[in-house]
Structure 1
Amino acid sequence: MRIKLVYDNTTIREDLQSDWGFAAVVETGSRNILFDAGADGDILLSNMQKMELDPAQIDTVFISHHHFDHTGGLAAFLAKNNRVALWVPESLRGVRNAASVNHVSEATAIDHNIFSTGELKGIEQALIIQTDKGTVLLVGCSHPGLGAIMKAAEPYGDIYAVVGGYHGFRQFELLKDVQKISPTHCTQVIDALRTLYPEKYIAGGVGTVIDF
Protein backbone atom coordinates (compact mmCIF):
# COMPACT_ATOMS: atom_id res chain seq x y z
CA MET A 1 0.00 0.00 0.00
CA ARG A 2 1.25 3.47 -0.89
CA ILE A 3 0.18 7.03 0.02
CA LYS A 4 1.31 9.95 -2.17
CA LEU A 5 0.77 13.46 -0.82
CA VAL A 6 -0.41 15.67 -3.68
CA TYR A 7 -1.59 18.72 -1.71
CA ASP A 8 -0.16 20.06 1.53
CA ASN A 9 1.06 23.24 3.22
CA THR A 10 4.67 22.39 2.38
CA THR A 11 6.45 20.65 -0.48
CA ILE A 12 9.59 18.53 -0.73
CA ARG A 13 10.11 19.27 -4.46
CA GLU A 14 10.70 22.62 -6.15
CA ASP A 15 8.51 21.68 -9.12
CA LEU A 16 5.48 20.97 -6.90
CA GLN A 17 3.30 23.70 -5.41
CA SER A 18 2.37 23.92 -1.75
CA ASP A 19 -0.85 25.54 -0.57
CA TRP A 20 -3.11 25.53 2.47
CA GLY A 21 -5.07 22.30 2.16
CA PHE A 22 -4.67 18.56 1.93
CA ALA A 23 -5.07 15.74 -0.58
CA ALA A 24 -3.45 12.35 -1.05
CA VAL A 25 -3.62 9.53 -3.55
CA VAL A 26 -3.86 6.13 -1.90
CA GLU A 27 -2.91 3.03 -3.87
CA THR A 28 -4.14 -0.09 -2.09
CA GLY A 29 -3.73 -2.66 -4.84
CA SER A 30 -7.49 -3.00 -5.30
CA ARG A 31 -8.35 0.70 -5.44
CA ASN A 32 -6.81 4.04 -6.34
CA ILE A 33 -8.32 6.59 -3.99
CA LEU A 34 -8.17 10.37 -4.00
CA PHE A 35 -8.44 11.34 -0.34
CA ASP A 36 -9.67 14.96 -0.18
CA ALA A 37 -9.06 17.46 -2.97
CA GLY A 38 -7.16 20.43 -1.56
CA ALA A 39 -8.30 24.04 -1.98
CA ASP A 40 -7.49 24.73 -5.64
CA GLY A 41 -8.17 22.47 -8.59
CA ASP A 42 -5.39 23.84 -10.77
CA ILE A 43 -2.81 23.17 -8.07
CA LEU A 44 -4.20 19.70 -7.39
CA LEU A 45 -4.18 18.63 -11.02
CA SER A 46 -0.76 20.18 -11.70
CA ASN A 47 0.81 18.39 -8.74
CA MET A 48 -0.81 15.11 -9.79
CA GLN A 49 0.51 15.48 -13.32
CA LYS A 50 4.05 16.22 -12.14
CA MET A 51 3.88 13.20 -9.86
CA GLU A 52 2.76 11.10 -12.85
CA LEU A 53 -0.67 10.43 -11.36
CA ASP A 54 -3.40 10.21 -13.99
CA PRO A 55 -6.83 11.37 -12.77
CA ALA A 56 -8.39 8.76 -15.08
CA GLN A 57 -6.79 6.01 -12.97
CA ILE A 58 -8.60 7.12 -9.80
CA ASP A 59 -11.68 4.98 -9.12
CA THR A 60 -12.69 6.28 -5.69
CA VAL A 61 -12.85 9.75 -4.12
CA PHE A 62 -13.14 10.07 -0.35
CA ILE A 63 -13.87 13.49 1.16
CA SER A 64 -13.23 13.82 4.88
CA HIS A 65 -15.26 17.00 5.48
CA HIS A 66 -16.78 20.01 3.80
CA HIS A 67 -14.15 22.70 4.47
CA PHE A 68 -12.86 24.48 1.37
CA ASP A 69 -9.25 23.39 1.84
CA HIS A 70 -10.37 19.77 1.40
CA THR A 71 -13.08 20.22 -1.24
CA GLY A 72 -11.96 23.22 -3.33
CA GLY A 73 -10.29 21.07 -5.97
CA LEU A 74 -13.10 18.52 -6.23
CA ALA A 75 -15.03 20.09 -9.11
CA ALA A 76 -11.88 20.42 -11.22
CA PHE A 77 -10.97 16.81 -10.55
CA LEU A 78 -14.47 15.55 -11.40
CA ALA A 79 -14.35 17.57 -14.63
CA LYS A 80 -11.39 15.34 -15.58
CA ASN A 81 -12.83 12.09 -14.23
CA ASN A 82 -16.39 11.70 -12.98
CA ARG A 83 -16.41 7.92 -13.38
CA VAL A 84 -15.66 7.50 -9.69
CA ALA A 85 -17.42 6.34 -6.57
CA LEU A 86 -17.59 9.37 -4.30
CA TRP A 87 -17.80 8.91 -0.53
CA VAL A 88 -18.74 12.01 1.46
CA PRO A 89 -19.97 12.72 4.99
CA GLU A 90 -23.73 12.73 5.45
CA SER A 91 -23.68 16.49 6.06
CA LEU A 92 -21.98 17.29 2.73
CA ARG A 93 -24.71 17.87 0.14
CA GLY A 94 -24.88 19.18 -3.41
CA VAL A 95 -22.22 16.98 -5.04
CA ARG A 96 -23.68 15.18 -8.06
CA ASN A 97 -21.08 14.88 -10.83
CA ALA A 98 -19.88 11.35 -10.07
CA ALA A 99 -20.81 7.80 -11.07
CA SER A 100 -22.13 7.26 -7.55
CA VAL A 101 -22.40 9.53 -4.53
CA ASN A 102 -22.42 7.79 -1.16
CA HIS A 103 -23.39 9.83 1.90
CA VAL A 104 -21.84 8.26 4.98
CA SER A 105 -23.29 8.59 8.47
CA GLU A 106 -22.31 5.31 10.15
CA ALA A 107 -19.18 3.18 9.86
CA THR A 108 -19.21 1.78 6.33
CA ALA A 109 -17.27 -0.74 4.26
CA ILE A 110 -15.91 0.63 0.97
CA ASP A 111 -13.98 -2.49 0.00
CA HIS A 112 -12.97 -5.71 1.76
CA ASN A 113 -10.19 -3.93 3.67
CA ILE A 114 -11.20 -0.26 3.32
CA PHE A 115 -13.65 1.47 5.63
CA SER A 116 -15.04 4.82 6.71
CA THR A 117 -15.31 5.60 10.39
CA GLY A 118 -18.64 7.22 9.60
CA GLU A 119 -19.26 10.92 10.11
CA LEU A 120 -18.10 11.78 13.63
CA LYS A 121 -19.61 14.67 15.60
CA GLY A 122 -21.51 15.82 12.53
CA ILE A 123 -18.47 17.05 10.61
CA GLU A 124 -15.83 14.54 9.50
CA GLN A 125 -15.11 10.98 8.47
CA ALA A 126 -11.73 9.26 8.33
CA LEU A 127 -10.44 6.50 6.05
CA ILE A 128 -9.38 3.14 7.50
CA ILE A 129 -7.24 0.72 5.50
CA GLN A 130 -6.31 -2.69 6.87
CA THR A 131 -2.80 -3.84 5.95
CA ASP A 132 -0.55 -6.71 6.95
CA LYS A 133 1.19 -4.36 9.40
CA GLY A 134 -2.02 -3.07 10.98
CA THR A 135 -4.56 -0.37 10.32
CA VAL A 136 -3.53 2.77 8.45
CA LEU A 137 -5.72 5.75 9.36
CA LEU A 138 -6.01 8.78 7.06
CA VAL A 139 -7.44 11.93 8.59
CA GLY A 140 -8.33 15.26 7.00
CA CYS A 141 -8.21 17.71 9.92
CA SER A 142 -9.34 15.59 12.90
CA HIS A 143 -11.99 18.14 13.88
CA PRO A 144 -13.84 15.54 16.00
CA GLY A 145 -10.57 15.02 17.90
CA LEU A 146 -7.91 12.50 16.97
CA GLY A 147 -8.80 10.46 20.05
CA ALA A 148 -12.42 10.07 18.90
CA ILE A 149 -11.28 9.09 15.40
CA MET A 150 -8.82 6.51 16.73
CA LYS A 151 -11.51 5.05 18.98
CA ALA A 152 -13.82 4.69 15.98
CA ALA A 153 -11.04 2.84 14.14
CA GLU A 154 -10.28 0.42 16.99
CA PRO A 155 -12.69 -2.33 15.85
CA TYR A 156 -10.70 -2.70 12.62
CA GLY A 157 -7.43 -3.67 14.29
CA ASP A 158 -4.40 -2.13 15.93
CA ILE A 159 -3.56 1.25 14.45
CA TYR A 160 -0.19 1.08 12.72
CA ALA A 161 -0.06 4.59 11.23
CA VAL A 162 -1.91 7.90 11.29
CA VAL A 163 -1.45 10.23 8.31
CA GLY A 164 -2.99 13.68 7.81
CA GLY A 165 -4.06 16.73 9.78
CA TYR A 166 -4.11 16.57 13.59
CA HIS A 167 -5.89 19.87 14.20
CA GLY A 168 -5.94 20.89 17.88
CA PHE A 169 -3.99 17.80 18.90
CA ARG A 170 -2.31 17.84 22.32
CA GLN A 171 -2.84 14.32 23.74
CA PHE A 172 0.58 13.01 22.80
CA GLU A 173 0.16 9.79 24.78
CA LEU A 174 -2.53 8.64 22.32
CA LEU A 175 0.23 7.90 19.82
CA LYS A 176 2.51 5.87 22.08
CA ASP A 177 1.43 2.53 20.57
CA VAL A 178 1.16 3.78 16.97
CA GLN A 179 4.15 2.71 14.89
CA LYS A 180 4.22 5.51 12.28
CA ILE A 181 2.90 9.07 12.30
CA SER A 182 2.84 11.65 9.52
CA PRO A 183 1.23 14.84 10.84
CA THR A 184 0.56 17.28 8.01
CA HIS A 185 -1.47 20.31 6.94
CA CYS A 186 -3.21 21.90 9.97
CA THR A 187 -1.21 20.12 12.70
CA GLN A 188 0.07 22.81 15.09
CA VAL A 189 2.48 20.52 16.97
CA ILE A 190 4.55 18.98 14.17
CA ASP A 191 7.86 20.01 15.76
CA ALA A 192 6.82 18.59 19.13
CA LEU A 193 5.73 15.29 17.58
CA ARG A 194 8.98 15.01 15.60
CA THR A 195 10.97 15.58 18.81
CA LEU A 196 8.86 13.27 20.98
CA TYR A 197 8.55 10.41 18.49
CA PRO A 198 11.56 10.61 16.13
CA GLU A 199 11.45 6.88 15.39
CA LYS A 200 7.79 7.07 14.35
CA TYR A 201 7.82 10.38 12.51
CA ILE A 202 7.46 10.65 8.71
CA ALA A 203 7.71 14.18 7.30
CA GLY A 204 4.85 15.32 5.08
CA GLY A 205 4.76 17.79 2.22
CA VAL A 206 3.69 17.58 -1.42
CA GLY A 207 5.72 14.91 -3.17
CA THR A 208 6.06 12.66 -0.13
CA VAL A 209 5.50 8.96 -0.84
CA ILE A 210 4.82 6.64 2.09
CA ASP A 211 4.95 2.86 1.65
CA PHE A 212 3.37 0.48 4.12
Structure 2
Amino acid sequence: MKASFLSLFAAFALLVGTAPRAETPPAPVAPAPKPSQVRVKNLRVTVLSTMLAEKGIGEWGFAALVEADGRRILLDTGYLPNTVLQNAKEQGIDLSDITDVILSHNHDDHTGGLVTLRRELSKKNPAALSRAHVAPGIFWSRPKKDGGEGNPMVAFRPEYEAAGGTFIEHTGPVELAPGVWLTGPVPRPNPERNWSSKGQVQSPQGLVEETIPEDQALVIDTDQGLVVITGCGHAGVVNILEFARKQVRSAPIHAVLGGLHLFRADEKTLAWTGRKLREMKLGHLMGAHCTGIETVFRLRELAGLQRSTCVVGAVGASFELGKGLNPLELAR
Protein backbone atom coordinates (compact mmCIF):
# COMPACT_ATOMS: atom_id res chain seq x y z
CA MET A 1 0.00 0.00 0.00
CA LYS A 2 1.40 3.37 -0.94
CA ALA A 3 2.31 5.33 2.18
CA SER A 4 0.07 8.30 2.69
CA PHE A 5 -0.81 10.78 5.37
CA LEU A 6 -4.29 10.19 6.69
CA SER A 7 -5.97 11.81 9.61
CA LEU A 8 -9.52 10.71 10.25
CA PHE A 9 -11.29 12.21 13.19
CA ALA A 10 -14.83 11.50 14.27
CA ALA A 11 -16.91 13.16 16.91
CA PHE A 12 -19.89 10.87 17.08
CA ALA A 13 -19.92 10.87 20.88
CA LEU A 14 -22.62 12.88 22.60
CA LEU A 15 -22.07 15.47 25.29
CA VAL A 16 -22.54 14.12 28.78
CA GLY A 17 -25.97 15.22 29.92
CA THR A 18 -28.30 14.63 32.83
CA ALA A 19 -27.84 11.16 34.23
CA PRO A 20 -30.76 8.73 34.13
CA ARG A 21 -32.45 7.85 37.38
CA ALA A 22 -30.41 4.74 38.06
CA GLU A 23 -26.72 4.17 37.57
CA THR A 24 -25.03 0.94 36.63
CA PRO A 25 -24.28 -0.98 39.82
CA PRO A 26 -20.55 -1.49 40.42
CA ALA A 27 -19.36 -4.76 38.94
CA PRO A 28 -18.29 -7.28 41.59
CA VAL A 29 -14.52 -7.56 41.75
CA ALA A 30 -13.05 -10.95 42.50
CA PRO A 31 -10.04 -11.09 44.83
CA ALA A 32 -6.78 -10.79 42.94
CA PRO A 33 -4.53 -13.86 42.89
CA LYS A 34 -1.15 -13.52 44.52
CA PRO A 35 1.22 -11.88 42.02
CA SER A 36 3.99 -14.04 40.62
CA GLN A 37 6.40 -11.16 41.37
CA VAL A 38 7.92 -11.73 37.95
CA ARG A 39 8.62 -8.51 36.08
CA VAL A 40 8.60 -8.22 32.33
CA LYS A 41 12.04 -7.48 30.88
CA ASN A 42 11.20 -6.99 27.21
CA LEU A 43 8.11 -5.05 26.17
CA ARG A 44 6.94 -3.48 22.94
CA VAL A 45 3.49 -2.01 22.27
CA THR A 46 2.50 -1.06 18.69
CA VAL A 47 -0.66 0.83 17.76
CA LEU A 48 -2.64 -0.81 14.94
CA SER A 49 -5.80 1.29 14.97
CA THR A 50 -6.40 4.93 15.86
CA MET A 51 -7.41 8.12 14.05
CA LEU A 52 -4.00 9.46 13.05
CA ALA A 53 -2.10 7.49 10.43
CA GLU A 54 1.23 8.25 8.83
CA LYS A 55 1.40 4.85 7.19
CA GLY A 56 -1.76 2.78 6.92
CA ILE A 57 -5.43 3.48 7.59
CA GLY A 58 -6.77 5.88 10.22
CA GLU A 59 -10.17 5.36 11.79
CA TRP A 60 -12.16 6.17 14.93
CA GLY A 61 -11.08 3.04 16.78
CA PHE A 62 -8.28 1.42 18.72
CA ALA A 63 -6.14 -1.69 18.69
CA ALA A 64 -2.62 -2.41 19.92
CA LEU A 65 -0.22 -5.31 19.70
CA VAL A 66 1.46 -6.07 23.03
CA GLU A 67 4.67 -8.13 23.02
CA ALA A 68 5.93 -9.00 26.51
CA ASP A 69 8.81 -11.41 27.04
CA GLY A 70 7.83 -13.39 23.96
CA ARG A 71 4.09 -13.41 24.72
CA ARG A 72 1.98 -11.62 22.07
CA ILE A 73 -1.49 -10.28 22.87
CA LEU A 74 -3.86 -8.11 20.86
CA LEU A 75 -5.78 -5.48 22.81
CA ASP A 76 -8.96 -4.50 20.96
CA THR A 77 -9.60 -4.97 17.25
CA GLY A 78 -10.38 -1.56 15.74
CA TYR A 79 -13.62 -0.35 14.16
CA LEU A 80 -13.84 -1.42 10.52
CA PRO A 81 -13.50 -5.17 9.92
CA ASN A 82 -10.26 -5.01 7.88
CA THR A 83 -8.39 -2.06 9.40
CA VAL A 84 -6.16 -4.01 11.80
CA LEU A 85 -5.42 -6.66 9.19
CA GLN A 86 -4.37 -4.05 6.63
CA ASN A 87 -2.39 -1.92 9.07
CA ALA A 88 -0.54 -4.96 10.41
CA LYS A 89 0.34 -5.96 6.84
CA GLU A 90 1.48 -2.40 6.13
CA GLN A 91 3.77 -2.57 9.17
CA GLY A 92 5.08 -6.01 8.25
CA ILE A 93 3.48 -7.57 11.35
CA ASP A 94 2.17 -11.15 11.34
CA LEU A 95 -0.72 -11.58 13.78
CA SER A 96 -1.44 -15.24 13.06
CA ASP A 97 0.53 -16.61 16.01
CA ILE A 98 -1.50 -14.59 18.54
CA THR A 99 -3.99 -16.76 20.42
CA ASP A 100 -5.35 -14.21 22.90
CA VAL A 101 -7.26 -11.00 22.29
CA ILE A 102 -8.49 -8.64 25.00
CA LEU A 103 -11.69 -6.68 24.43
CA SER A 104 -11.61 -3.63 26.68
CA HIS A 105 -15.37 -3.04 26.34
CA ASN A 106 -18.34 -3.58 24.03
CA HIS A 107 -18.14 -0.57 21.68
CA ASP A 108 -17.79 -1.36 17.99
CA ASP A 109 -14.78 0.92 17.55
CA HIS A 110 -12.89 -1.64 19.67
CA THR A 111 -14.62 -4.86 18.66
CA GLY A 112 -15.43 -4.31 14.97
CA GLY A 113 -12.50 -6.34 13.65
CA LEU A 114 -12.90 -9.33 15.98
CA VAL A 115 -14.79 -11.73 13.74
CA THR A 116 -12.87 -10.87 10.57
CA LEU A 117 -9.52 -11.22 12.33
CA ARG A 118 -10.48 -14.62 13.74
CA ARG A 119 -11.73 -15.90 10.39
CA GLU A 120 -8.80 -14.64 8.34
CA LEU A 121 -5.97 -15.46 10.74
CA SER A 122 -7.31 -18.93 11.51
CA LYS A 123 -6.72 -19.86 7.86
CA LYS A 124 -3.00 -19.81 8.67
CA ASN A 125 -3.20 -20.87 12.31
CA PRO A 126 -6.37 -22.54 13.68
CA ALA A 127 -5.58 -21.20 17.17
CA ALA A 128 -5.21 -17.58 16.06
CA LEU A 129 -7.29 -15.21 18.22
CA SER A 130 -9.21 -18.21 19.53
CA ARG A 131 -9.50 -16.79 23.07
CA ALA A 132 -11.16 -13.46 23.79
CA HIS A 133 -10.83 -12.06 27.31
CA VAL A 134 -13.79 -9.97 28.46
CA ALA A 135 -15.38 -8.66 31.65
CA PRO A 136 -18.97 -8.98 32.95
CA GLY A 137 -21.40 -6.66 31.23
CA ILE A 138 -19.91 -6.80 27.76
CA PHE A 139 -22.83 -8.90 26.49
CA TRP A 140 -25.61 -6.99 28.26
CA SER A 141 -28.23 -5.52 25.95
CA ARG A 142 -28.08 -1.80 25.21
CA PRO A 143 -31.61 -1.12 23.91
CA LYS A 144 -31.97 1.76 21.47
CA LYS A 145 -34.93 4.15 21.39
CA ASP A 146 -36.02 2.75 18.03
CA GLY A 147 -36.18 -0.76 19.49
CA GLY A 148 -32.88 -1.90 18.00
CA GLU A 149 -29.84 -3.33 19.79
CA GLY A 150 -27.07 -0.91 20.66
CA ASN A 151 -24.49 -3.47 21.75
CA PRO A 152 -22.56 -4.88 18.78
CA MET A 153 -21.26 -7.75 20.92
CA VAL A 154 -24.75 -9.25 21.00
CA ALA A 155 -24.30 -10.01 17.27
CA PHE A 156 -20.53 -10.57 17.32
CA ARG A 157 -20.71 -13.22 20.04
CA PRO A 158 -22.41 -16.00 18.03
CA GLU A 159 -20.36 -15.15 14.94
CA TYR A 160 -17.08 -15.37 16.83
CA GLU A 161 -18.08 -18.61 18.55
CA ALA A 162 -19.22 -20.09 15.25
CA ALA A 163 -15.75 -19.29 13.91
CA GLY A 164 -14.22 -21.37 16.72
CA GLY A 165 -13.54 -18.60 19.21
CA THR A 166 -14.11 -18.82 22.97
CA PHE A 167 -14.90 -15.98 25.36
CA ILE A 168 -13.25 -16.01 28.78
CA GLU A 169 -14.96 -13.74 31.30
CA HIS A 170 -12.94 -12.24 34.16
CA THR A 171 -14.67 -10.85 37.24
CA GLY A 172 -11.44 -9.54 38.72
CA PRO A 173 -7.71 -9.11 38.11
CA VAL A 174 -5.93 -12.03 36.49
CA GLU A 175 -2.28 -12.63 35.58
CA LEU A 176 -2.44 -13.77 31.96
CA ALA A 177 1.31 -14.38 31.87
CA PRO A 178 4.14 -13.66 34.31
CA GLY A 179 4.03 -9.91 34.91
CA VAL A 180 1.13 -9.38 32.48
CA TRP A 181 -2.12 -8.47 34.24
CA LEU A 182 -5.68 -7.88 33.09
CA THR A 183 -7.63 -5.68 35.50
CA GLY A 184 -11.11 -7.04 34.89
CA PRO A 185 -13.82 -4.49 35.84
CA VAL A 186 -12.28 -1.50 37.60
CA PRO A 187 -13.81 0.02 40.78
CA ARG A 188 -14.56 3.73 40.45
CA PRO A 189 -13.97 5.56 43.74
CA ASN A 190 -13.06 8.79 41.94
CA PRO A 191 -15.90 10.68 40.24
CA GLU A 192 -14.53 10.31 36.72
CA ARG A 193 -17.29 10.13 34.12
CA ASN A 194 -15.21 9.17 31.12
CA TRP A 195 -18.00 8.13 28.83
CA SER A 196 -20.27 9.99 26.43
CA SER A 197 -23.33 7.81 26.13
CA LYS A 198 -26.71 8.90 27.46
CA GLY A 199 -28.00 5.39 26.83
CA GLN A 200 -29.02 2.61 29.17
CA VAL A 201 -28.00 -0.99 29.71
CA GLN A 202 -30.09 -4.00 30.70
CA SER A 203 -28.26 -5.16 33.81
CA PRO A 204 -29.30 -7.97 36.17
CA GLN A 205 -30.81 -5.22 38.33
CA GLY A 206 -32.87 -3.86 35.45
CA LEU A 207 -32.48 -0.98 33.01
CA VAL A 208 -29.83 1.42 34.34
CA GLU A 209 -27.47 4.11 33.10
CA GLU A 210 -24.87 2.87 30.65
CA THR A 211 -21.49 3.54 32.28
CA ILE A 212 -19.64 0.78 30.40
CA PRO A 213 -19.15 -1.26 33.59
CA GLU A 214 -17.06 -3.93 31.81
CA ASP A 215 -14.25 -1.50 30.91
CA GLN A 216 -10.87 -3.11 31.62
CA ALA A 217 -7.19 -2.44 30.95
CA LEU A 218 -3.90 -4.31 30.62
CA VAL A 219 -1.08 -3.78 33.14
CA ILE A 220 2.53 -4.81 32.56
CA ASP A 221 4.80 -4.97 35.60
CA THR A 222 8.39 -3.95 34.81
CA ASP A 223 11.47 -2.94 36.79
CA GLN A 224 10.87 0.64 35.65
CA GLY A 225 7.29 0.64 36.93
CA LEU A 226 3.85 -0.24 35.61
CA VAL A 227 2.92 0.12 31.95
CA VAL A 228 -0.84 0.47 31.52
CA ILE A 229 -2.64 0.02 28.17
CA THR A 230 -6.22 1.20 27.85
CA GLY A 231 -8.83 0.98 25.13
CA CYS A 232 -10.96 3.99 26.01
CA GLY A 233 -10.34 4.29 29.73
CA HIS A 234 -14.07 4.60 30.41
CA ALA A 235 -13.49 3.58 34.03
CA GLY A 236 -11.35 6.73 34.37
CA VAL A 237 -7.60 6.78 33.96
CA VAL A 238 -6.99 7.67 37.61
CA ASN A 239 -9.30 4.90 38.81
CA ILE A 240 -7.50 2.47 36.51
CA LEU A 241 -4.03 3.48 37.66
CA GLU A 242 -4.93 3.43 41.35
CA PHE A 243 -6.46 -0.02 40.93
CA ALA A 244 -3.37 -1.24 39.07
CA ARG A 245 -1.09 -0.02 41.85
CA LYS A 246 -3.30 -1.66 44.46
CA GLN A 247 -3.70 -5.02 42.75
CA VAL A 248 -0.38 -5.47 40.96
CA ARG A 249 2.28 -3.36 42.68
CA SER A 250 2.50 0.05 44.33
CA ALA A 251 5.01 1.35 41.81
CA PRO A 252 5.43 4.47 39.70
CA ILE A 253 3.44 4.52 36.47
CA HIS A 254 6.13 4.16 33.84
CA ALA A 255 3.78 4.58 30.87
CA VAL A 256 0.13 4.98 29.92
CA LEU A 257 -0.72 4.04 26.33
CA GLY A 258 -4.09 4.14 24.56
CA GLY A 259 -7.39 5.96 24.75
CA LEU A 260 -8.38 7.97 27.84
CA HIS A 261 -11.73 9.41 26.65
CA LEU A 262 -10.88 12.93 27.71
CA PHE A 263 -11.42 14.68 24.39
CA ARG A 264 -14.39 16.61 25.82
CA ALA A 265 -12.91 17.16 29.28
CA ASP A 266 -13.02 20.68 30.70
CA GLU A 267 -10.05 22.48 32.21
CA LYS A 268 -11.01 21.54 35.77
CA THR A 269 -11.06 17.85 34.88
CA LEU A 270 -7.77 18.05 33.02
CA ALA A 271 -6.09 19.92 35.87
CA TRP A 272 -7.21 17.26 38.38
CA THR A 273 -6.17 14.42 36.07
CA GLY A 274 -2.79 15.96 35.32
CA ARG A 275 -2.09 16.47 39.01
CA LYS A 276 -2.93 12.85 39.78
CA LEU A 277 -0.70 11.62 36.96
CA ARG A 278 2.14 13.74 38.25
CA GLU A 279 1.66 12.35 41.77
CA MET A 280 1.93 8.82 40.40
CA LYS A 281 5.20 9.80 38.70
CA LEU A 282 3.95 9.13 35.19
CA GLY A 283 6.95 8.67 32.90
CA HIS A 284 5.43 8.36 29.41
CA LEU A 285 2.05 9.04 27.82
CA MET A 286 0.84 8.08 24.36
CA GLY A 287 -2.70 9.44 24.10
CA ALA A 288 -4.46 7.75 21.20
CA HIS A 289 -8.04 7.40 19.99
CA CYS A 290 -10.49 9.25 22.27
CA THR A 291 -7.88 10.98 24.42
CA GLY A 292 -8.04 14.14 22.32
CA ILE A 293 -5.15 15.96 20.65
CA GLU A 294 -5.44 19.13 22.70
CA THR A 295 -5.86 16.98 25.80
CA VAL A 296 -2.51 15.30 25.15
CA PHE A 297 -0.79 18.68 24.94
CA ARG A 298 -2.47 19.90 28.15
CA LEU A 299 -1.59 16.71 30.04
CA ARG A 300 2.00 17.02 28.85
CA GLU A 301 2.21 20.32 30.68
CA LEU A 302 0.09 19.39 33.70
CA ALA A 303 1.81 16.05 34.36
CA GLY A 304 5.28 17.52 33.93
CA LEU A 305 6.16 15.58 30.79
CA GLN A 306 8.21 16.53 27.73
CA ARG A 307 7.72 16.39 23.99
CA SER A 308 9.70 13.14 23.87
CA THR A 309 7.68 11.52 26.68
CA CYS A 310 4.13 12.64 25.80
CA VAL A 311 2.81 12.21 22.27
CA VAL A 312 -0.35 11.77 20.23
CA GLY A 313 -0.79 8.12 19.24
CA ALA A 314 -0.67 7.18 15.56
CA VAL A 315 -0.96 3.97 13.58
CA GLY A 316 2.43 2.26 13.74
CA ALA A 317 3.62 4.31 16.71
CA SER A 318 5.21 2.26 19.46
CA PHE A 319 6.55 2.15 22.98
CA GLU A 320 9.52 -0.03 23.85
CA LEU A 321 10.83 -0.68 27.33
CA GLY A 322 14.23 0.94 27.71
CA LYS A 323 13.81 3.02 24.54
CA GLY A 324 10.61 4.94 25.21
CA LEU A 325 8.14 6.29 22.66
CA ASN A 326 8.48 6.24 18.89
CA PRO A 327 5.59 8.39 17.65
CA LEU A 328 6.80 8.38 14.00
CA GLU A 329 7.41 11.62 12.12
CA LEU A 330 3.88 12.99 11.91
CA ALA A 331 3.31 13.08 15.68
CA ARG A 332 6.89 13.63 16.83
**TM-score, normalised to structure 2's length?**
0.60
Change (3 A) 1:46 1:110: same
Q: Whole-Å Cα distance in 2 between the matches of residues 98 and 131 of structure 1? A: 34
Q: Whole-Å Cα distance in 1 between the matches of residues 99 and 317 of structure 2? A: 21
3-state SS of the aligned residue for 1:52?
coil
Match of 2:233 among 116, 125, 142: 142
Matched residue, 1:193: 299
Q: Whole-Å Cα distance in 1 between the matches of residues 69 and 214 of structure 2? A: 29
Q: Whole-Å Cα distance in 2 between the matches of residues 178 and 167 of structure 1? A: 18
Q: How many residues align?
A: 210
Match of 2:111 among 42, 66, 71: 71
Q: Whole-Å Cα distance in 1 between the matches of residues 312 and 261 of structure 2? A: 16
Match of 2:274 among 165, 169, 172: 172
Which ranges in structure 1 are unaligned for 5 or more consecutive residues? none
Sequence identity percentage: 29
Matched residue, 1:30: 70
Which ranges in structure 2 are unaligned for 5 or more consecutive residues? 1-42, 140-156, 188-212, 322-332
Matched residue, 1:57: 97
2:118 touches 2:165 (CA, 8 Å); kept in 1? Answer: no
3-state SS of the aligned residue for 2:87?
helix
2:296 touches 2:311 (CA, 8 Å); kept in 1? Answer: no
Structure richer in strand, relative to its length: 1
Alignment pair present for 1:183 and 2:274 = no
3-state SS of the aligned residue for 2:290?
coil
In the TM superposition, residue 172 of structure 1 has moved relative to its aligned partner by 0.8
3-state SS of the aligned residue for 1:135?
strand
3-state SS of the aligned residue for 1:192?
helix
Aligned alpha-carbon RMSD (Å): 1.7
1:85 touches 1:98 (CA, 8 Å); kept in 2? Answer: no
Alignment pair present for 1:204 and 2:313 = yes
Alignment pair present for 1:81 and 2:147 = no
Change (3 A) 1:202 1:132: farther
In the TM superposition, residue 111 of structure 1 has moved relative to its aligned partner by 1.1
1:34 touches 1:62 (CA, 8 Å); kept in 2? Answer: yes
Change (3 A) 1:100 1:113: farther
Q: Larger C-alpha radius of gyration, 1 or 2?
A: 2
**TM-score, normalised to structure 1's length?**
0.92
Q: Whole-Å Cα distance in 2 between the matches of residues 142 and 92 of structure 1? A: 15
3-state SS of the aligned residue for 1:152?
helix
Q: Whole-Å Cα distance in 2 between the matches of residues 202 and 110 of structure 1? A: 28
